[in-house]
Amino acid sequence: MPGTTAEKATGQRYQWADKNFNANYGGIPKNVRLHVTGKLYQTLPLYSSLGTTGVYIYASDFNVPARTASIHAESQVRNEYAQPRTFSYEVKILDREGKAVAAFSGPKLTLAAGATGTVSAAASVGRLNFWSWGYGYLYDVDTTLKVNGKPVDTVRTRTGFRKTEFGSGMVRLNDRVIQVHGYAQRTSNEWPSVGMSVPPWLSDYSNRLIVEGNGNLVRWMHTTPWKQDIESLDRQGIMQAMPAGDAEADVTGRRWEQRIAVMRDAIIYNRNSPSILFYESGNRGVSDEHMQEMKALRDQYDAHGGRASGSRDMLGNRTNEYGGEMLYVNKSARQPFWSMEYSRDEALRKYWDEFSPPFHKNGDGPLYKGQDASVYNRNQDTHAVENVLRWYDYYAERPGTGRRVNSGGVNIIFSDTNTHHRGAENYRRSGEVDAMRIPKDGYFAHQVMWDGWVDVERPRAHIIGHWNYAPGTRKTVNVVSSADSVELFLNGRSLGRGARSAGFLHTFADVAYEPGELKAVGYGADGKPVARAALQTAGAPAALRLRAITGPAGMRADGADLALFEVEVVDANGRRNPVALNMVDFRLEGPAEWRGGIAQGPDNYILKTSLPVEGGVNRVLVRSTTQAGDITLRASAEGLQPATVTLRTHSVAQSGGLAASSPSDGLPSYLERGPTPPGPSFKPSRLSVALTGATAGSNADAAAKSIDDDESTVWTSSAEAGKRWISYTLEHPATLTAASFKLSGWRERSYPIRITVDDQEVFTGDTPKGLGYVTLPLKPVQGSSVKVELTGATVDGDALKITELDPKAVRDTGANREPRGVLSIVEAEFYESPRNP
């Protein structure tokens, strides 16, 4: 559809046919399957083309600790015989080793000639392995139609079983709260030179990097992803949010009918995938009526799949089951709110910092649409730091921080892409890995911060950057760590503890470079080491090193498989030189096709047989032919020892041009994180104190809007002196230790305020600007009421440079609606410390 301009019957353009959101690669970039059936058969899940719904497998009555659930199978069956047919329906569940773990059947059914009906069966099954984050445990469910005891049609459905809940502002997976963290990714999910035409194992390779980097959710943007990526996330144990197909915002008329039709088809086609937890109605908010339609669609075709229906924004809507803005922080005690896109800045992997070749000073680059575009031309140092700053905004309001919480967010994007660029290059570089899936420092920063379901469970440390500089270089060293403090050592000599900020960032200013080892040691609250990281100075470039990356079963000679070759510039000891930029010449021999890679330079070096390493490493792709045999790749560079790798492609059985097996057959699941851990995923750090009422010096009738758990409403005082205050009554006397506010104009406006508890001052000062909520420490005073008053003039000025939001920033935050000199509160909450057990 993206290649067409309009719907033939109506002339209506497809809203998702947008080069910014859905790159058109042309042709047939995906596998094609041929289904051959008898005249009595289970239908395919292809509603628009065939009008059929296929097989639906789901679970209910979960007992997670006991590992039991009721497993249901439903099949739509069609009888194309000229006579009625009576048949039985049998179900067999096979584990990942192919062992039958359950078998059951439903009642016999008779279908009239030409009729279509639904048959079902269910049974309680024990000793189940529930699908979970980083535990992509899948079962094969065989549903068989038998006539006179003989099988006439069998369909195998690969699926997984997991329990989900969405409420109290949180997402629960298998009874455990999980704060979502991952990536908003274009559904093309493409690679250089081959676009979407990648084998399933390479989709697994890319997606596995997400879970190994401790991501747990992919929010596909704008259009439904292809089946290969959906199945890949099933195997990897990564949750996903599935959209229908849109460009931006709500639509009406035929355009809405198109979106409904696409969502219906996508639900029917993908409803057996356990990784799908969210159905997205639109890239931006939709009307209440449209949200009701989407929920009804879900209830009609996937009533038992345990999936929430929602959309971006939808802050004040009570019909959606999840929501959340782009870039800003939202909280809720109702449906979970998570950020649909955050930290959109861009940086080439080639640019370490301004002290490393090619010496890219942060922000250097052209304007974007007449605006400063420095945030889209970062180097790796500041890109990684920005990722830390932005994630901490969400982590600070995670479950366990009160009644109203934030459920996380997804960073845009995972891998650099050739859609919708804003910086100096002609492709987007917001990724935490580059287009060839080589990690940037931002990848490792997230790996540190995301290592837990909610609270960090496994402390880590990562030193941003490298340790190969010119003599005399002095620079700031940043360490990302979940430790309470970090000490830096240079060649065994302590440089002291870093300044901690944004929870995870430990900064060491003006570190003088000297060759050797730079080591970071993280310490827990008890002073004991909990994490370590080190960088070692590499010697001068001496040689190239090549390694081949293929699917688990090797490279298939099917004309479509790919091998990924990594080339590195290494020193005499085999250590990668992180500042090498050598040009490498490749020569391919044997039955294979060169596809190459990508690098900064003329035409991005697409399809070129010579291209440079960046930061000492690069990768290229080679595609198989239909002829099996040895392929050899040779790499050479001036002044360096060359490298050679040979691998053998193996033939694929086929008949008449059709293969009997799928390229995805036999691909393993990722199970490294293990089943859902028992016990809570967070330790409460503060407890909300319930409020029984609110009054104010002005606009008192709207005072309750500041505590109504609805970020689309606001209380605003008058500008009259002595009337710019609001007071709250506590449900019980409490010793308050902190207050959290969402204030109108939160990004641009600072408020000088005074807070008192029973007339005793507990805070005075200016509120900081941020991406949503500010938390203020309070002097611990016990009392029954809290008063917040404006003590002076508000101060405006953008504190966070987000280029993309500049034209509409004040509209988003409400700074244009509320005049200066008033106190304006969207939401307020007050906390006491957790009680000792």
- The model's pLDDT over 70-86, given as tens digits with 9 standing for 90+, comes to 999 999 999 999 999 99
Element (H, E) at 540: none
The DSSP element (H or E) to which 761 belongs, if any, is strand 760-766
**For residue 801, what pLDDT is reported?**
59
From the DSSP assignment, how many helices (H) and strands (E) are in the chain? 8, 47
CA angle 221-407-731, nearest 5°?
A: 145
Portion of the chain with pLDDT greater than 90, in percent:
84
Q: Tens of pLDDT along 612-648?
A: 999 999 999 999 999 999 999 999 999 999 999 999 9
Residue 67 burial (C-beta neighbours within 10 Å; 0-12, 13-18, 19+) = middle
- Categorize the per-residue pLDDT at 1 as very low, low, confident or very high, splitting at 50, 70 and 90: very low
The confidence band for 813, taking pLDDT boundaries of 50, 70 and 90, is: confident
* Distance between start and end Cα atoms, the chain: 60
The pLDDT of 585-600, averaged and rounded, is 97
Half-sphere exposure of 127 (CA within 13 A, CB side): 7
The answer to whether the CB of 750 falls within 8 A of the CB of 766 is: yes
Which is more confidently placed, 373 or 85? 85
Helix, strand, coil percentages (3-state) for the chain, rounded to 5, are 15, 40, 45
What type of residue is 137?
Y
Contact residues for 836 (Cβ-Cβ < 8 A; gap 6+): none
- Residue 226's pLDDT is what? 93
Pure H helices in 222-366: 227-236, 253-270, 288-301
On whether the pTM is more than 0.75, the answer is: yes
pLDDT digit string (tens) for 641-696?
999 999 999 999 988 888 888 899 999 999 999 999 999 999 999 999 999 999 99
Structure tokens at 770: 């941020």
| Residues 505, 510: Cα–Cα separation, whole Å | 16
**398 closest CA partner among 182, 171, 730:** 171
Residue 669: DSSP 8-state: P
Say whether pLDDT at 803 is over 70. Answer: no
State residue 2's pLDDT score.
42
Nearest to 343 by CA among 303, 370, 369, 378: 378
Q: What is the 3-state secondary structure (H, E, C) of 592-653?
A: EEEEECCCCCHHHHCCCCEEECECCEEEEEEEECCCCEEEEEEEEECCEEEEEEEEEEEECC
* CA distance readout (Å), 92 to 103, 104, 138: 4, 7, 14
Residue 795, pLDDT above cutoff 90: no
What's the confidence (pLDDT) of residue 796? 83
Lowest-confidence segment of 29-38, 726-735, 813-822 by average pLDDT: 813-822
Block residue for tokens 């009555």: 61
Confidence bin at 815 (pLDDT 50/70/90): low
User: What are the catalytic residues?
Assistant: 341
pLDDT tens for each residue of 95-123: 999 999 999 999 999 999 999 999 999 99
Residues pairing with 141 in the sheet: 93, 157
What are the tens digits of pLDDT across the range 173-210?
999 999 999 999 989 899 999 998 999 999 999 999 99
Q: Which two tokens stand for residue 380?
A: 């790796």
Integer Cα distance of 104 and 66 in angstroms: 21
Query: 723-755: buried (b, 16+ CB within 10 Å) or exposed (e) per residue?
Result: bbbbbbebeeebebbbbbbbbbbbbbbbbbbbb
- The residue ranges of DSSP E strands in 332-375, in sequence order, are 339-342
Cβ-based neighbours of 232, under 8 Å, separated by 6 or more: 200, 203, 204, 207
Task: State the average pLDDT for the chain.
Answer: 94
Q: Residue for token digits 């942060």?
A: 362
The pLDDT of residue 798: 65
**Could you give the angle at which helices 200-212 and 227-236 cross, rounded to 10 degrees?**
40
Taking the C-alpha atoms of residue 280 and residue 284, their distance in angstroms, rounded to an integer, is 9
Q: How confident is the model at residue 485 (pLDDT cuts 50, 70, 90)?
A: very high
SS3 for 659?
Answer: strand
Asked if residue 235 lies in contact with residue 670, where contact means CB atoms within 8 angstroms, the answer is yes
Which of 134-148, 314-328, 735-749 comes out lowest in average pLDDT?
314-328
Cβ proximity of 435 and 192 under 8 Å? yes
Give dist(CA 245, CA 223) in Å, integer. Answer: 4
Q: Which residues, at least 6 apart from 252, have a Cβ–Cβ distance to it below 8 Å?
A: none
**E strand or H helix at 521:** strand 517-523
| d(C-alpha 180, C-alpha 454), whole Å | 8
Confidence of residue 807 (pLDDT cuts 50, 70, 90): very low
Contacts of 206 (CB under 8 A, 6+ apart): 189, 414, 415, 437
The set of residues, in sequence order, having a beta carbon less than 8 Å from that of 308 and lying 6+ positions away, is 164, 166, 277, 278, 279, 321, 322, 335, 336
